[in-house]
Chains A and B, each alone.
Chain A
Amino acid sequence: MKEIRINVNGVFRHVMVEDNEILLDTLRTRLGITSVKAACWRGECGLCTVLIDNKPMKSCMLLSVEVDGSEILTAEGLYNNKRARVLMESFVKHGAMQCGFCTPAFVTTAHSALSSNPDADDQEISEKLKGVICRCGTYFQIKEAVKSARAFYKDGSHETF
Chain B
Amino acid sequence: MNSRTILGEKVPQVDSWLKVTGTLRYSFDISLPGMLYAKLVTSKYAHARIRSLSFEEALKVPGVVAVATGKDFPFRLGIYVSDRDVLAVNKVRWVGHPVAAVIATDMSSAEEAAEKVNVDYEPLDPVLDVEKALEKDAPLVHEDLADYSVFPGFRPVPGTNIANEFNLVKGDVEKGLKESSVVIEDTFKIPQISHAAMEVQNSIGYWRPDNVVELWSSVQSPFATRFLLSKSLGVPLNRVIVHAPPIGGGFGLKAGLGWEALVALLSKKAGNRPVKLVLSRAEQMTSAPSRDLFLAKVRAGFSKEGRFLAYKAEFFLDAGAYADYTVNVARTAGYSAEGSYEIENVNVKSLAVYTNKIPTTAMRGFGHPENHWPLEQILDRAAHELKMDPVSIRAVNLLKPGFSERATGEKVREDEGNPEGVLRTAAGLIEIDKVENPSVPWTVIGKGLSMLVKAPSQPSNAAASAVVKLNEDGTVDVITGTGSMGQGTPTGLAMMVAEEFGVPLESVKVVQTEGVDTDRSAYTWQTVGSRGLFSDGIAVLRAIEDAKGQVKKIASAVFRVPEDDVEVSGGYVFSRTHPWIRKELREFANGYTFSDGTSIGGPVIGRGSYIPVLNTFLDEKGHGSNTVFHTYGATAVEVELNLITGEIKVLKAVQVFDVGKVINLLTLIGQADGGFIMGLGSALFEEIKFDDSGWVLNPNLTHYYVPRITDCDFEIKESFIETPQKDGPLGARGIGEHVMIAVAPAIANAVFNATGVKMNELPMSAEKVWREIMKQKPELFSKALKSFQESLKEVMAE
Q: Is the CB of B198 within 8 A of A133?
A: yes
Given A42-B700, A76-B22, A88-B17, CB of A143 within 8 Å of CB of B249: no
B52 within 8 A of A: no
Q: Is the CB of B670 within 8 A of A100?
A: no
Closest Cβ of chain B to A129, distance in Å, is 5
A12 within 8 A of B: no
Chain B residues with Cβ below 8 Å from A59 are none
Q: Is the CB of B248 within 8 A of A101?
A: yes
Interface residues of A in 67-109 (CB under 8 A from B): 74-76, 78-79, 88, 91-93, 95, 97-104, 107
Closest Cβ neighbor of B197 among chain A residues: A135
Chain A residues with Cβ below 8 Å from B196 are 135
Interface size of B by Cβ–Cβ distance < 8 Å? Answer: 57
Cα separation A41 to B107 with both chains bound (whole Å): 14
B191 within 8 A of A: no
Given A34-B29, A141-B673, CB of A103 within 8 Å of CB of B198: no
Interface 0/1 of B134-154, CB less than 8 Å to A: 000000000000000000000
Chain B residues with Cβ below 8 Å from A37 are 22, 28, 198-199, 248
Q: Is the CB of B709 within 8 A of A44?
A: no
Q: Which of B376-384, B481-489, B594-602, B603-611 contacts A (4 or more CB under 8 A)?
A: B481-489
Q: Is the CB of A137 within 8 A of B677?
A: yes
Given A37-B199, A126-B710, CB of A107 within 8 Å of CB of B673: no
Q: Is the CB of B713 within 8 A of A126?
A: yes
A112 within 8 A of B: no
Q: Give which listed residue, B18, B678, B709, B716, contacts A129 with CB less than 8 A.
A: B709
A148 within 8 A of B: no
Closest Cβ neighbor of A128 among chain B residues: B709
Q: Is the CB of A101 within 8 A of B198?
A: yes
Chain B residues with Cβ below 8 Å from A137 are 673-678, 707
Chain A residues with Cβ below 8 Å from B674 are 98, 136-138
Interface 0/1 of A3-47, CB less than 8 Å to B: 000000000000000000000000011000011110111101101
Closest Cβ of chain B to A91, distance in Å, is 5
Q: Give which listed residue, A88, A93, A100, A107, contacts B24 with CB less than 8 A.
A: A100
Interface residues of B in 724-752 (CB under 8 A from A): none
Chain A residues with Cβ below 8 Å from B28 are 37
Cα separation A100 to B711 with both chains bound (whole Å): 20
Q: Is the CB of B248 within 8 A of A99?
A: yes
Closest Cβ of chain A to B250, distance in Å, is 8
Chain B residues with Cβ below 8 Å from A143 are 709, 712
Chain A residues with Cβ below 8 Å from B707 are 137, 139
Given A97-B16, A100-B24, A139-B709, CB of A41 within 8 Å of CB of B281: yes
Cα separation A99 to B246 with both chains bound (whole Å): 8
Q: Give which listed residue, B485, B706, B712, contacts A99 with CB less than 8 A.
A: B485
Q: Is the CB of A135 within 8 A of B22?
A: no
Chain B residues with Cβ below 8 Å from A2 are none
Closest Cβ of chain B to A96, distance in Å, is 8
Q: Give which listed residue, B10, B26, B249, B669, contacts A136 with CB less than 8 A.
A: B249
Cα separation A13 to B21 with both chains bound (whole Å): 21
Q: Give which listed residue, B15, B16, B26, B708, contacts A101 with CB less than 8 A.
A: B26
Interface residues of B in 10-33 (CB under 8 A from A): 10, 12-13, 15-26, 28-29, 31
Q: Is the CB of B198 within 8 A of A138?
A: no
Closest Cβ neighbor of B680 among chain A residues: A137
Q: Is the CB of A98 within 8 A of B486?
A: yes
Closest Cβ neighbor of B706 among chain A residues: A133
Q: Is the CB of A36 within 8 A of B486?
A: no
Cα separation A98 to B251 with both chains bound (whole Å): 12
Closest Cβ neighbor of A44 among chain B residues: B701
Given A135-B197, A135-B198, A135-B678, CB of A99 within 8 Å of CB of B486: yes
Q: Is the CB of A100 within 8 A of B18?
A: yes
B267 within 8 A of A: no
Q: Give which listed residue, A93, A135, A141, A142, contacts B706 with CB less than 8 A.
A: A135
Chain B residues with Cβ below 8 Å from A97 are 13, 16, 19-20, 486
B439 within 8 A of A: no
Cα separation A138 to B200 with both chains bound (whole Å): 19
B667 within 8 A of A: yes
Chain A residues with Cβ below 8 Å from B487 are 98
Cα separation A41 to B20 with both chains bound (whole Å): 22
Q: Is the CB of A45 within 8 A of B198?
A: yes
Q: Is the CB of B22 within 8 A of A35?
A: yes
B280 within 8 A of A: yes
Q: Give which listed residue, A29, A92, A132, A136, contacts B20 with CB less than 8 A.
A: A92
Closest Cβ neighbor of A91 among chain B residues: B20
Closest Cβ of chain B to A106, distance in Å, is 9
B702 within 8 A of A: yes
B66 within 8 A of A: no
A–B Cβ pairs within 8 angstroms, 25 of them: A34-B23, A37-B28, A37-B199, A42-B700, A44-B701, A76-B23, A79-B21, A88-B20, A88-B21, A95-B669, A98-B487, A98-B670, A99-B247, A99-B248, A99-B250, A103-B19, A104-B20, A130-B710, A136-B486, A136-B678, A137-B707, A138-B673, A140-B673, A140-B712, A142-B709
Additional pairs, 15, CB under 8 Å, beyond known A88-B17, A101-B248: A34-B25, A37-B198, A40-B281, A40-B700, A41-B281, A75-B20, A88-B21, A92-B16, A95-B667, A97-B13, A135-B197, A135-B706, A136-B486, A138-B670, A141-B669
- Chain B interface residues (CB < 8 Å from chain A): 10, 12-13, 15-26, 28-29, 31, 196-200, 246-251, 280-281, 484-488, 666-667, 669-670, 673-678, 700-702, 706-710, 712-713, 716
Ranked 5 nearest A-B pairs via Cβ: A35-B22, A101-B248, A98-B486, A99-B486, A137-B677
